[in-house]
Structures are given as structure tokens and as C-alpha cells.
Amino acid sequence: MCADCETGMTLNLQMYCGKCGGKEDNQGFRVVRDMVLPMLCRGNKFTVVCDNFFCTLRLSHYLASCGCQLLGTMRINRKELPDEAKTIKGRTPDTTIFFLKGKCKLISYFNEKKKLVLVLSTCHEKNEIEVVEQDVSIGKEKMTIHKPQPILDYNHKMGGVDTVDQMTRYYTCRRRTNRWNIRALYDMIDIAALNAYKTYSNYHPCKRVDFLNNLSGALMKMK
């Protein structure tokens, strides 16, 4: 699913129907390309924020060639990652190492919980470190940590799809069924109704439940 992180509107989606033939190489790249292609054809420029299943150096180059940007986490087993970025032996917790290659910036952040976080960005121009206070599980005490700006931006912008999932659960037409195609239809209706509400409320602010009641009434009157 491709969603706008600011509005929560679903822009595109693709249903996974199982394996077809052999193992697909670069599936994550292909999915993102399919998702953004309609927007690229309209000449839109944007930043893609994705998790470590989709984020690769190849994807960053493809988006850059289209005038777009990428921000996402990376898996530690990606072949294009330098060994220094993946090494945690001897590193002090709450430290960051930056790697630059062209327009790409790789951030290797070894956090206070001794967990390695890898983020690839083409939308940050300089090494920015912002000091934030966060609760950590060690002794349930607050401590000041130095978190890179790209990671803060990723955490802030990654909620588009989660917002759609959350809002469709509040008001849904789903019913219990063992038929996967009917379940897919329910999800499509929920997503379409949410998009319709967000579009309508931009011009006519109203409660979502009132909008859905009026929408369902109008649909039942249709022949």
C-alpha cells in the first residue's frame, strides 16, 4: 500500500496473490516502482518513505533519476552496505556513523539499547544530530540520547499506512467470511470510503460517522 504520510489517503495499492513461478528477485524494488509509477507519469515529485523490505541502493538511484527522494531503513544483510556500517563490536552506545556516496547518505546508528539501526536517505543535505529526551527501558529512567535527524524524520513520516489501517478499523464494513475475495472487497470498500471522507471533509468539514451514514444511505438508493 502507498499512502500519503500527511493526509493518510491511500494513493495506490497492490494485492499479493502468492508466488507465481520461481523466486522473484528484487521484489521490493518492483513493488515500489509499480506503486509510484502513476504519480511519476503525472510529473509529481515526492519523497518515498519505506521500511527495510523495500529500501535498497538501487531504489534510491531509480528515484533520483526520476527527480524523487528516498528515506528508509535497511536490512543489515544488504550486499551494498559497507562492513564498517554493520560492525557493532567496540562501538559505544548512542553513537552515529555517516557514509556518503553521491546523493545517498547512509546512517549507522548504534542506539542506547545496543541495537543497530541503518537508514538510507537522499533527502538530507548535511550531518544533522538532534538531541532528544526519550524514555528507555534501562531502569525506567530518562536519559538524553543523540539521535540523527534522518531517523527522527523516518519515525515521523512512516505512519501513513499505519494511519489508514487504524482508521479503517474504527468504522468498517467487514463481516466474518472464509472467502478471501470477499475479504479483499471489504478492505477495498473501507479504503475507498476513507479516501472519500478525507476528500469531502477538505471542503465540507464533518464527522466521519455522519459522512459514512449519508454515504451508505446514498448507495442504497442507487439502482
Residue 170's pLDDT is what?
92
How confident is the model at residue 125, as a pLDDT?
A: 77
pLDDT at 131: 64
Q: Which amino acid is at 168?
A: T
- The confidence score (pLDDT) of residue 61 equals 95
Q: What is the pLDDT of residue 69?
A: 96
Report pLDDT for 36. Answer: 95
- Mention every residue, 6+ apart, whose C-beta is less than 8 A from residue 30: 24
Residue 65: predicted pLDDT? 94
223 residues of the chain, pLDDT tens digit each: 899 988 889 999 998 877 777 777 889 999 999 999 999 999 999 999 999 999 999 999 999 999 999 999 999 999 999 999 999 999 999 899 999 888 899 999 998 888 999 999 999 876 666 666 666 666 667 778 888 889 989 998 887 788 888 899 999 999 999 999 999 999 999 999 999 999 999 999 999 999 999 999 999 988 7
**According to the model, what pLDDT value does residue 137 have?**
63
Residue 172: the pLDDT is 94
Write the CA distances from 86 to 54, 89, 98, 99, 106, integer angstroms: 18, 9, 12, 12, 11
pLDDT given for residue 187 in this prediction: 94
**pLDDT score at 113:** 86
Residue 128: predicted pLDDT: 61
Q: What is the pLDDT of residue 133?
A: 66
Cα 18 to Cα 15, 112, 165, 170, distances in angstroms: 9, 39, 22, 29
Cβ-in-10-Å burial (0-12, 13-18, 19+) of 30 comes to middle
